[in-house]
């Protein structure tokens, strides 16, 4: 058998392929012009032309968040967050996790999440000194009376915030509860020791 090697037949194109000349259809151009016009009109009507008064006072998303109108429980927690970040976060950290050798965590803390708030209110009102166990770990550093200058509502707000942030979930503290505890304390200004605090009703 003789194998005949066939040369592939080569097709030589006679001419470069061409395509029919196309133009952008008129309707597309007209459509784009209409859209452009509508866009400009919309911007003109609502954009405020970058007038500072229209865009102030927001400079960032955080600003916008800060200025949102709030009501009820939301407003209380937001007030609490501001106070917490001003006066507690330095030691307890903005995420409530505490700081080694500075302050114990508030996240998951049995002191923060207690069913009753009678002891909890006394902590920022008078401060704490002496060994305290939080989530199985013992701390022994003094905490000053960080909340003594707060109004009843502000102390309630900051405590409501720590009871309802970072995964913590517990009842809101009311200004009336704070008022009642403050009245019970009379003129006391000495910090509690955690052991003494435990003798108070939860
Ligand atoms: C200067 C640092 C510092 C600041 C500021 C501070 N704390 Fe504390 N806090 C501590 C320390 C330290 C302890 C532990 C005290 C001890 O060892 O007896 C503590 C304990 C606590 C506890 C009980 C323990 C726990 O982890 O749950 C609570 C609740 C608490 N602080 C809330 C607050 C709140 C609310 C504020 C702000 C109003 C605040 N602290 C501000 C240092 C601080």
- Going from the first residue of the chain to its last (202 residues), give the mean pLDDT of each consecutive group of 10, the final group possibly shorter: 59 74 88 96 84 73 77 88 96 97 97 97 97 96 95 97 97 97 94 96 93
Please report the pLDDT score of residue 69 as a whole number: 74
- Tell me, in angstroms, the distance from the centre of ligand 1 to residue 12's CA: 88
Backbone angles phi, psi at 126, to 5 degrees: -120, -15
Of the candidates 180, 148, 171, 173, the one whose C-alpha atom is nearest the C-alpha of residue 158 is 173
The answer to whether the CB of 84 falls within 8 A of the CB of 91 is no
- Tell me, in angstroms, the distance from the centre of ligand 1 to residue 143's CA: 5
> Using CA atoms, how far apart are residues 40 and 66, in angstroms rounded to an integer?
31
- Tell me, in angstroms, the distance from the centre of ligand 1 to residue 156's CA: 15
> Using CA atoms, how far apart are residues 129 and 141, in angstroms rounded to an integer?
6
> Using CA atoms, how far apart are residues 148 and 155, in angstroms rounded to an integer?
8
Mutation test of ligand 1: which of 79, 89, 103 has the most ligand atoms closer than 8 Å to its C-beta?
103
Residues 6+ apart with CB under 8 A from 168: 96, 106, 107, 108, 112, 113, 162
> Using CA atoms, how far apart are residues 145 and 125, in angstroms rounded to an integer?
5
Please report the pLDDT score of residue 6 as a whole number: 62
> Using CA atoms, how far apart are residues 122 and 54, in angstroms rounded to an integer?
46
Of the candidates 125, 138, 142, the one whose C-alpha atom is nearest the C-alpha of residue 193 is 142
Residues 6+ apart with CB under 8 A from 137: 104
Please report the pLDDT score of residue 67 as a whole number: 76
Q: Whose CA is nearest to atom 7 of ligand 1?
A: 143
106 is written with which tokens? 């508030």
141 is written with which tokens? 């550093």
């Amino acid at each position: 058998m003789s194998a005949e090697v066939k040369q592939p037949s080569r097709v030589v194109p006679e001419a470069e392929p061409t395509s029919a000349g196309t133009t952008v259809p008129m309707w597309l151009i007209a459509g784009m012009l209409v859209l452009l016009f509508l866009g400009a009109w919309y911007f003109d009507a609502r954009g405020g032309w970058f007038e500072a008064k229209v865009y102030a006072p927001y400079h960032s998303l955080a600003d916008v968040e800060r200025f949102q109108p709030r009501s009820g429980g939301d407003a209380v927690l937001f007030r609490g967050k501001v106070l917490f970040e001003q006066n507690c976060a330095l030691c307890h950290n903005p995420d409530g996790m505490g700081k080694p050798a500075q302050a114990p965590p508030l996240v998951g803390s049995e002191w923060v999440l207690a069913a009753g708030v009678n002891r909890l209110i006394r902590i920022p009102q008078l401060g704490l000194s002496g060994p305290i166990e939080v989530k199985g770990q013992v701390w022994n550093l003094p905490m000053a009376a960080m909340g003594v200058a707060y109004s009843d509502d502000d102390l309630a707000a900051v405590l409501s915030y720590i009871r309802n942030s970072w995964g913590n979930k517990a009842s809101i503290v009311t200004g009336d509860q704070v008022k009642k505890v403050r009245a019970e304390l009379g003129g006391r200004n000495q910090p509690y020791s955690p052991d003494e605090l435990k003798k108070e009703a939860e």
